[in-house]
């Protein structure tokens, strides 16, 4: 439960600072899974799960599209 609180704290702090929360988590997850540069301890080993990496990719894509693609302009007249 303590690890989950840490994840929520990371998302909350990065969100309030205006930073993209998903990109740093995705980079850490990928580096921990595919390189020996980062070794995560419990409970952070959950970041190396394929499901977690997939969810982070989807969230990053959704956030990037929502941020960069302008909304369609509709006329009400």
Q: What is the pLDDT of residues 48-60, one digit of tens each?
A: 999 999 999 998 8
Share of the chain above pLDDT 70, in %: 73
Q: What 3-state DSSP class applies to 48?
A: helix
pLDDT at 64: 80
Question: Is the pLDDT score of 20 beyond 80?
Answer: no
Query: Is 29 in contact with 46 (CB distance < 8 Å)?
Result: no
Q: What 3-state DSSP class applies to 54?
A: helix
State the average pLDDT over residues 1-30.
71
Give the whole-angstrom CA distance, residue 15 versus residue 35. Answer: 28
Measured torsion, CA atoms of residues 71, 68, 9, 35, in degrees rounded to the nearest 10? 140
């Amino acid at each position: 439960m303590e690890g989950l609180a840490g994840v929520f704290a990371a998302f909350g702090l990065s969100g309030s600072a205006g930073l993209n929360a998903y990109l740093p988590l995705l980079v850490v997850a990928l580096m921990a899974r595919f390189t020996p540069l980062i070794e995560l301890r419990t409970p952070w080993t959950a970041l190396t799960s394929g499901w977690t990496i997939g969810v982070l990719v989807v969230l990053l894509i959704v956030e990037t599209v929502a941020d960069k693609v302008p909304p369609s302009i509709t006329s009400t007249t």
